[in-house]
Structure 1
Amino acid sequence: MANIFDMDLDNQPQPSIFMVPRIYRDQNLSCFDPLEVSIGPFHKGNSNVQANEALKRKYMGDLLVRLKSPPQQTLERCFSKVNSLINEIKLCYGGMLNSHDSDVANMMVIDSCFILEFIQKVFEVNCPGFMLFEILLDLLRIENQIPFFVLQNIFDLTLLGIQRKNSLITLLIDHVFFGFHPCQAKLKIDNDGNDECNYKQILDILHKACRSDLSAEYGLPKAISHSVVELDRARLMFEPNEGGSMAMAMAIEYELFGVFGKPTLRMPVLTIDDATELVLWNLIAYEQFDPNVDGHYCWNHVPQDDLGCLSLESNHVYYSNYFTSFVVALDMLVDSTLDVVKLVESKVIVNRFSKEKAAKMIKGMFRGVVCRTFMYQQEFQQLDNYYKWANNQGWLNLFDDPRWDQFLGPNKLPSLFGLGTGKDKLKSC
């Protein structure tokens, strides 16, 4: 199937649901292809998901019998609503959806009903455990999406009468995304409710839950990077950022009048498990390639050669590359397993793999990622300034002496060279 990069975007509406470029997806095919259920058109023909097409229809039937109105009457209303939205639905796929209108409507109704019934079963703790994990992950794959306004409209015609206290957004945040966000933080959406125009698809909601108003400097990280072990030798501590207002917040804290103590870098808590790489890859792909996300370039033209290489031209830049910046920051901090061990000891990483596998995963996430706007420029410049200051004082070796802590005591810091005075407020990104 053709993807967004095979089209002339000068004459095409910018899609909100698309396939990622071949050169990117081939690095980790398993992160983008669904394992159990296909949602939308891109993977509908995959052989591995055919067995669960019957499950999708069964879940649609289960949803319809929950309602007070006759199932056939509700189904007709769903098809009528979707048929009225066919043109808008096709625009979301940017000309890549060439199926007959009746086939499109049938796919949208079945997939929407399946998702809603699955969410309801999860809400009721009544979902088969043997497929729960795989289906939840399938719903977060960037190529496995339907327009959110379709899902919202079917919700309004079905579950709204049952879930009177919970909006569709709330159900997704609390029951689909719960435990699957790679950073341990309470997710929130500012405009919770039924304004489906604010969201493009399910993955977009997870991304918007990390929204921040913090501006960032254009360009790659400017500061020289230092590993966790190097910064630890310079007496910098790492702690979880548990008090930030945003899920991806990062900040440096230090004492007002400290002279020789330790600064603290507070970071999002990263859980490394079987879901981490998949979710991060899809969120990063969303930031890298969705022409509508308000976090990167709006493209004028995106050609692709035979090798899948991209040439981007843009006329505007926004800043919300939360997950791209986070992966770049980890890549700057982690050089070896020793860095992972230190972050685990500091409770910044919850690692359910071996330290070797965790380090390999972190370094591998940077493959193919283009960071045009780094959300942690200020924090990493402060780290570089502090490290250079400590090194110039000849203190790095001195700090290795255990008598140093006994002499100075904890929680003091040189507030010099860009570190300012007083405690920094948490910077969100």
Structure 2
Amino acid sequence: MLPFKWENPDITFLTSIREKLETVPPLSSTCSIHKVPKMLRSVNDKAYNPKVISIGPFHRGEESLQVMEEHKWRYLRIFLDWYPQIKLEHYVEVLRGLEESARQCYVEPIKLGSYEFVEMMLLDGFFILVLFLKMWTHEWDSRDPIFRTRWMLGPIMLDMLLLENQIPFFVLKRLFQLSEVPNQDDERRPSLLELTYVFFRKFLKRDEILDQTISRSEVKHLLDFVQSFLLPSSIMVLPHGDTRYDFTPTATELHEAGVEFKVVKSNCLLDISFRNRVLEIPFLKIEDGTELLFRNLIAWEQCQTLLNCEITSYAYLMDGLIKTPKDVD
């Protein structure tokens, strides 16, 4: 008869805690693609969910977005046909080398195997590049539903600006670099930044792409690229002082107090000034996608570790100025 073996429950408990500690992944300093906090989602959940296409892992596999998955394969084939000198195996090999760095860009561990993750980057990356190139050249197949129908391109463009619907920009950059062939054409080949600018031009306030516009940091993803055009190239850090928040008077109250409102011609959304009873604010065109863009920009800022939250501050100011239809007038 075997002797009874008694285990100390405290030792078993401590062992299980140590095992869990060993499996906790370290915090990543390169995390740039986040899930939108529930506190922000509760105001308008639809502003953060893709309507047509999933980019990246967070919304991958959702039933309502499956129609575009087949179209991603078509765009991959188009790109490979455009640049036949680069083999598919080479793209896959490079993406496998980028896999770990790309995974660290997401706020939480991605529950996809290595092959699935690389396939996702391959399909999503080339879909974006082909879409950019088609927009640049204005040459597309009349059978392509994205350009054949009047409604599809706009929603896809907005889906590509959602915080949860991103892949790292360095993945796009590397794939685009691989397709470069010396002396392939006499026509100047656009840079990836130029392609991105042309595609999202309707959301940007600048008339041309400037290197200093995006020199404040390396571009993290497409939403970050758009944000860089709405902000000044150098961020001013305000001195520490009284941190109390004073509510902004409404536009009606300011007008009744003798304040004059003027539109200022500026490429920067934040170029707002108040001098001699004159409040100058840059022109902002309000469209169907304006709220969605601003909500995702604010969510992106709230997930960063920057000292200033410029878009959030702008939204607070506008929210203070505009309370009633009379304020809008």
TM-score range, shorter chain: 0.7 to 0.9
Residues 261-307 of structure 1, C-alpha deviations (whole Å, 9 max, x = no match)? xx32111222222101100000000001134xxx3xxxxxxxxxxxx
Indicate the residue corresponding to 2:195 in structure 1: 171
Contact 2:58 2:165 in 1 (8 A): yes
> What SS does structure 2 have at the residue aligned with 1:240?
strand
**Equivalents in 1 of 2:135, 2:201: separation in Å?**
11
User: What is the distance in 1 between the residues matched to 2:54 and 2:291?
Assistant: 20
Following superposition, the deviation at residue 158 of structure 1 comes to 2.6
* 1:202 lines up with 2:222 in the alignment: yes
Query: For 1:27, what is the secondary structure of its paired residue?
Result: coil
Shift of 1:234: 2.4
- The residue number in structure 2 matching 1:264 is 278
Whichever residue aligns with residue 140 of structure 1, its letter is L
Q: Deviations over 1:229-254 (max 9, x none)?
A: 12112222212221x35332111244
Tell me which moved more, 322-331 or 14-23: 14-23
The alignment partner of 1:146 has SS state of coil
- Distance in 2 (CA, whole Å) between partners of 1:207 and 1:290 is 13
Alignment pair present for 1:340 and 2:301? no
Match of 1:392?
none
Deviations 1:81-134 (A, max 9, x none): 111111111111144213111111111011000000011112223434331101
Paired letter, 1:35: K
Matched, 1:66 2:82: yes
Matching of residue 251 in structure 1 with residue 239 in structure 2: no
Task: Give the TM-score normalised by structure 2.
Answer: 0.80
Number of corresponding residues: 291
Contact 1:189-1:208 at 8 Å conserved across structures = no
Aligned-partner SS, 1:198: coil
- Contact in 2 for aligned 1:64/1:158 (Cα 8 Å): no
Cα deviation 1:348-395 (Å, max 9, x = unaligned): xxxxxxxxxxxxxxxxxxxxxxxxxxxxxxxxxxxxxxxxxxxxxxxx
Tell me the amino acid that sits aligned with residue 264 of structure 2. Answer: N
The equivalent of 1:13 in structure 2 is: 28
Q: Which residue of 2 aligns with 1:330?
A: 318
Deviation at 1:180, TM superposition (A): 2.5
CA distance in 2, matches of 1:76, 1:153: 15
Q: Which residue of 2 aligns with 1:26?
A: 42
Aligned counterparts of 2:51 and 2:120: Cα–Cα separation in 1:
18
> Corresponding residue for 2:120?
107
Name the CA distance, whole Å, in 1 between partners of 2:24 and 2:270: 32
Aligned to 1:237: 260
**Structure with the higher helix share, 1 or 2:** 2
Distance 1:205 1:83, change over 3 A: same
d(CA) in 2 for partners of 1:50 and 1:264?
52
Alpha-carbon distance change, 99 to 10 in structure 1, aligned in 2, over 3 angstroms: closer
Deviation of 1:164 after TM superposition, in Å, equals 4.0
Q: In structure 2, list runs of 5 or more residues that go unmatched.
A: 1-22, 141-146
Asked if 1:147 corresponds to 2:161, the answer is no
Aligned to 1:385: none
What secondary structure does 1:97 align onto? coil
Q: 2:101 aligns with which of 80, 85, 88?
A: 88
What percentage of aligned pairs have identical amino acids?
29
Judged with a 3 Å threshold, the aligned counterparts in structure 2 of structure 1 residues 111 and 224 are, in CA distance, closer, same or farther, namely closer
Structure 1 unmatched runs, 5+:
1-7, 255-262, 296-317, 342-429
Shift of residue 165 of structure 1?
A: 4.2
> The residue matched to 1:166 in structure 2 has which SS?
coil
Shift of 1:190: 3.5
Cα separation, partners in 2 of 1:95 and 1:233, compared to 1, 3 Å: closer
Does residue 1:281 correspond to 2:295, yes or no?
yes
Conservation of the 8 A alpha-carbon contact between 2:54 and 2:60 = yes
SS in 2 for 1:84: helix
CA distance 1:18–1:222, change in 2 (3 Å): closer
Q: Distance in 2 between matches of 1:164 and 1:18?
A: 36
Question: Displacement, 1:215?
Answer: 2.3
RMSD: 2.6
Give distance in 1, aligned partners of 2:88 and 2:291: 38
Partners of 1:140 and 1:279 within 8 A in 2:
yes
Partner of 1:272: helix, strand, or coil?
coil
- Cα deviation, residue 176, structure 1: 2.4
Question: With structure 1 as the length reference, what TM-score do the two structures score?
Answer: 0.62
Residues 1:225 and 2:238 aligned together: no
Aligned pair 1:134/2:147, yes or no?
no
Summarize deviations over 1:318-348 as a string: whole Å, max 9, x none. 22x121011100111112101111xxxxxxx
Distance 1:121 1:289 in 2: 33
The whole-number CA distance in structure 2 between the counterparts of 1:187 and 1:223 is 37
SS at match of 2:124: helix
1:37 matched to 2:53? The reply is yes
Equivalents in 1 of 2:237, 2:267: separation in Å? 16
Give the CA deviation at 1:49: 0.5
- What residue is the counterpart of 1:156 in the other structure? 177
